[in-house]
Chain A
């Protein structure tokens, strides 16, 4: 099963490499990874998605918790949560195709953030599935570049991950 794990860690040099290194060292996979400082400047928040059964995810969270730089973590997929990913995608479109692409952007509630005579640059935010769906809805060969941020998320309701 796919899990989204959010980690609060010390904003120190080497902290990120320790987290990433742990995954390769113990033969775990990282499907996506996103990291940035939080409102508290001494902390970074890292969110990663990984696959595994319960036993594997338990080992992953235990080993992450053992890292001295890791302050706290949560497996967002344990409960109700909101996940979002941002994608910038370049789509070739000329002539009659331009209207078709614009319509798709509207349906998916994306934004055209740049355009030339032949190319739209589109920004789309949503779950990973939604971004996948948008890409596959484009005409064959129309998508010429995809840049995705990786998944980030928070728990729904009162539950928070902070100090």
Chain B
């Protein structure tokens, strides 16, 4: 690391250095919770006005809020927690960010250096506990380490394949009585850390040749396109080629869902047409994806049996990890896509239009099956969960930020909302963290105070972080919470219905659910209950009309509904259940 044109400030404490370095790293918001080991830092925060601190009600929520902020903005989320339980409470949120490659900086307090290793009060080995779920971590040795470590941490968290970075800060290093000159490095070079740039031109050429010669091409893209700010380039290339495209759960919004070339999400709960097209394609272009088991199904030997696989990713370790790539391309996805666009523009005439036409005819036949068609309830009164998402899309004009928790409601939101823009879909894809949605929606709202920030949740997930009602009251965050209430852990129950002869082991609790309307009201928010289909649109509209209020909308839905399509375990992508009675 070298310091060029460094900003020098004379004589400040470690705590002040930390806050100042965060400001120099262009941080605006910190999500945190105070405690003994970070009191010096909190005092330094008190004495300045450049960085806003948001007091959450549980450290896990701080990490998810920072995560939501990062997913919506592309900027790193910053978390400040105390040692011991503060740090361990942050773990789930760090793991969530790690699995989805979200840039995050977690500043954890630590006991004084002299006490480390003595089992001191609120001591835990944060570096050790977080090691498998961070991109990198640092422990501060002296106060003068702080600015350099902050600069390195932001560089590592935000470049290449992004991820969380932990900085563990022993209390003595932030002591207000000990002062040092402060310098923030403006140039961060690490000899052991290189960020991939352009892809290999020869490989890109080879990939484009394969695309131009394809009879049944398919484009499959994931979170990497969103993280890599490559949505525009992806859309341009896809339009230029005229090929069908599908997005993973993490990749929704990278390509406009309302466009005809979009076949919907793929994978375990993907559309019939997306999964069939994957299975039958002859050339597959995967971009910013990791061939995760929720896409490929459990037996990768049955995955895309006829396809030449082209795989673009910034992380070399993602390539040929589960599925061997025929043409691997390591590089920044936006730069690779730009290069591909250039090559395709030169030789567009060589696209096999006859074969492509036949391929689209086949795809339209699959699409006409309407695998996401909703069957309304027989009495016309009971609300189907899918109808809630449809109504939500209508009322928000498809333009809201939608954060979700994990379970059936998450899949319904992914299938039915239809995202036309990147960074609007905020969900825990890799780790599948219940309790993620509400704090994430808070983070989104803080990033964009005037935007519509929605949390689609279930009554199960919501109870994992409902304490954040208080945070929303303190900071006037008008998040709209749409609770798809089926009075059970819906996805668990669905699997128990399908694989355990309907034995609902510990997945139901209808008799002990709180009155969510009164619960919201007790925190000073608005609660609305919707029980019948004919009041769905009207009451949802009323909820969104309360622009300055947090509104909790408790929607009672058909508890028997399952999520379909659903991949058949051990099968290929073409093997799906389409309803309770129909399979491919």
Within A40-77, which residues are at the interface with B (CB < 8 Å)?
55, 58-59, 62-63, 65-66, 68-71
Cβ-defined contact, B192 with A17, below 8 A? no
Please indicate the chain A residues that have their CB under 8 angstroms from the CB of B127 in the complex. Answer: 14
Q: In chain B, what residue has the closest Cβ to A9? A: B192
A–B complex contacts, Cβ < 8 Å, 18 sampled: A9-B192, A10-B192, A13-B139, A17-B131, A18-B131, A21-B132, A55-B320, A58-B320, A59-B317, A62-B316, A62-B317, A65-B316, A66-B315, A68-B135, A68-B136, A68-B156, A68-B192, A69-B192
Q: What is the interface residue range for chain A against chain B?
A: 20 to 34
Tell me if B191 is interfacial: C-beta within 8 Å of chain A: yes
Please indicate the chain A residues that have their CB under 8 angstroms from the CB of B317 in the complex. Answer: 59, 62-63, 65-66
Q: In chain A, what residue has the closest Cβ to B190? A: A68
Cβ-defined contact, B139 with A14, below 8 A? yes
Tell me if B128 is interfacial: C-beta within 8 Å of chain A: yes
Known pairs A13-B139, A14-B137; list 8 more (Cβ under 8 Å). A14-B127, A14-B139, A17-B131, A55-B320, A63-B317, A68-B135, A68-B190, A68-B193
Tell me if B321 is interfacial: C-beta within 8 Å of chain A: yes
Cβ-defined contact, B192 with A70, below 8 A? yes
Please indicate the chain A residues that have their CB under 8 angstroms from the CB of B156 in the complex. Answer: 68
* B324 touches which of A9, A14, A55, A62 (Cβ 8 Å): A55
Please indicate the chain B residues that have their CB under 8 angstroms from the CB of A71 in the complex. Answer: 191-192
Q: In chain A, what residue has the closest Cβ to B160? A: A66
Cβ-defined contact, A59 with B321, below 8 A? yes
Please report the C-alpha to C-alpha distance between residue A69 and residue B136 in the assembled complex, in whole angstroms: 9
Distance (Å) between the CB of B131 and the closest chain A CB? 5
Please report the C-alpha to C-alpha distance between residue A55 and residue B317 in the assembled complex, in whole angstroms: 11
Which residues of A pack against B, CB within 8 Å?
A: 9-10, 13-14, 17-18, 21, 25, 55, 58-59, 62-63, 65-66, 68-71, 163
Please indicate the chain A residues that have their CB under 8 angstroms from the CB of B136 in the complex. Answer: 68-69
Please report the C-alpha to C-alpha distance between residue A31 and residue B321 in the assembled complex, in whole angstroms: 22
Please indicate the chain A residues that have their CB under 8 angstroms from the CB of B190 in the complex. Answer: 68
Please indicate the chain B residues that have their CB under 8 angstroms from the CB of A63 in the complex. Answer: 317
Please report the C-alpha to C-alpha distance between residue A114 and residue B196 in the assembled complex, in whole angstroms: 54
Please indicate the chain B residues that have their CB under 8 angstroms from the CB of A14 in the complex. Answer: 127, 131, 137, 139
Please report the C-alpha to C-alpha distance between residue A63 and residue B317 in the assembled complex, in whole angstroms: 6
Please report the C-alpha to C-alpha distance between residue A13 and residue B316 in the assembled complex, in whole angstroms: 26
Cβ-defined contact, A21 with B191, below 8 A? no
Distance (Å) between the CB of A46 and the closest chain B CB? 13
Distance (Å) between the CB of B396 and the closest chain A CB? 39
Distance (Å) between the CB of A155 and the closest chain B CB? 21
Please report the C-alpha to C-alpha distance between residue A59 and residue B321 in the assembled complex, in whole angstroms: 7
Please indicate the chain A residues that have their CB under 8 angstroms from the CB of B132 in the complex. Answer: 21, 25
Distance (Å) between the CB of B408 and the closest chain A CB? 31
Please indicate the chain A residues that have their CB under 8 angstroms from the CB of B131 in the complex. Answer: 14, 17-18, 21
Distance (Å) between the CB of B462 and the closest chain A CB? 32
Please report the C-alpha to C-alpha distance between residue A13 and residue B135 in the assembled complex, in whole angstroms: 16
7 closest Cβ pairs, A-B complex: A62-B317, A71-B192, A68-B136, A25-B132, A62-B316, A68-B193, A63-B317
Within B300-337, which residues are at the interface with A (CB < 8 Å)?
315-317, 320-321, 324
Please indicate the chain B residues that have their CB under 8 angstroms from the CB of A10 in the complex. Answer: 192
Please indicate the chain A residues that have their CB under 8 angstroms from the CB of B321 in the complex. Answer: 59
Given contacts A55-B324, A59-B321, whether A17 and B316 have CB atoms under 8 Å apart is no
Cβ-defined contact, A17 with B128, below 8 A? yes
Distance (Å) between the CB of B129 and the closest chain A CB? 11
Please report the C-alpha to C-alpha distance between residue A163 and residue B137 in the assembled complex, in whole angstroms: 23
Please report the C-alpha to C-alpha distance between residue A9 and residue B156 in the assembled complex, in whole angstroms: 17
Please report the C-alpha to C-alpha distance between residue A122 and residue B532 in the assembled complex, in whole angstroms: 85
Please indicate the chain A residues that have their CB under 8 angstroms from the CB of B320 in the complex. Answer: 55, 58
Please indicate the chain A residues that have their CB under 8 angstroms from the CB of B324 in the complex. Answer: 55
What is the 8 Å Cβ interface bit string for chain B, positions 173-207, against chain A (1 contact, 0 not)?
Answer: 00000000000000000111100000000000000
Please report the C-alpha to C-alpha distance between residue A121 and residue B316 in the assembled complex, in whole angstroms: 48
Please indicate the chain A residues that have their CB under 8 angstroms from the CB of B135 in the complex. Answer: 68
Please report the C-alpha to C-alpha distance between residue A69 and residue B135 in the assembled complex, in whole angstroms: 11
Distance (Å) between the CB of A43 and the closest chain B CB? 10
